[in-house]
Amino acid sequence: MTLALLFPGQGSQSVGMGAALADAFPSARSVFAEVDEALGQNLSQLMREGPEDQLTLTENAQPALMSVSVAAMRVLRTEFDFDLAKATYAAGHSLGEYSALCAVGAISLADTARLLKLRGQAMQRAVPVGRGAMASLIGPKTDLALAEEAAKAGSEVGVCVVANDNNNGNVVISGDKAAVDRAIEKAKELGARAIPLNVSAPFHCPLMQPAADEMATALASATIVAPSVAVVANITARPETDPEVIRRLLVEQVTGRVRWRESMEWMAGEGGVTRFAEIGSGKVLTGMAKRIAPDAESTALNTPEELEAFATSF
């Protein structure tokens, strides 16, 4: 068995996430307390009690999702003696790449929290509200080629690119609102369904360059060491362990495409992964894994019971 650990991205947040872990395990509470201290913010209370509209804000959702993922990993290791060496790869969707890097020791928890807080704020500052948009192209005819054709049509009136290649049947486009609207029309002509996303900014497109510049400055002074488990990067869809390469790719990731389908295909194929475990909040990546790599086992680990069952399965 070859194991890969997966870490969810924005959209998986929900009020109450992490509460069961905090109630059950001191190790989880210590993670949430450390994040609160690093940010100078009672993020753990916001996660537990809401309100949802505040938790959903990008600058809160990003460090919150990371903290739940890292808390779950700490519970696995501290409470259930899970050996991280059992994993061959780790990967995270967009902000989840930071969760993965923190979980495997490449970036400290406090630094990861601060970087993600800044990342969320910088992404929000990069584009005035209302100028940008994102849309999910879905349906059996939807694949990367269809999405790129739709984005090409959109780019005739503004910035429009493929932002997230999640899996066949689910590809996200991003850019100027007028351009995304044009791309939606084209996608429908090509046989896809198109759903505008309720997001505060057009992530993973060239309009995010001001945010990438901010992150380049912040990451230049951040301490990054070689991870204990290779992290499959969104930008390359390949495992990376060199700290300087990781630093550069985290900057490129702000404007670049999340190559999730390719990452999963590489892990399930050349990487030989037979078991995927999604660590943290929600089951979004588990659903994608089952579609991309149906022959592999895929499990979401959200609750104390799920974590215990997973740890004792080795």
Alpha-carbon span 279 to 281, nearest angstrom: 7
In whole angstroms, what separates CA 226 from the centre of its chain?
20
In terms of Cβ atoms closer than 10 Å to its own Cβ (0-12, 13-18, 19+), residue 58 is buried
184-188: long-range contacts at Cβ-Cβ below 8 A with a sequence spacing of 24 or more? Answer: 184/135, 184/150, 184/154, 185/153, 186/149, 186/150, 186/153, 186/154, 187/135, 187/137, 187/142, 187/146, 187/147, 187/150
∠ Cα 288 257 126 (to 5°): 120
204 classed as catalytic: yes
- From 12, 94, 136, 263, the catalytic residue: 94
CA distances from 55 to 98, 105, 116, 143 (A): 18, 26, 14, 32
Q: Which of 69, 99, 204, 263 is labelled catalytic?
A: 204
> Degrees (nearest 5) of the Cα angle 164, 170, 176?
50
Tokens 């650990």 belong to 5
Alpha helices (H) in the chain, listed in sequence order: 19-24, 26-39, 43-49, 52-56, 58-79, 96-103, 109-126, 144-154, 177-189, 209-220, 243-255, 260-268, 284-292, 304-311
- Rounded CA-CA distance 297/267 in Å is 13
For the question of residue 14 being annotated catalytic, the response is no
**Catalytic residue IDs:** 94, 204
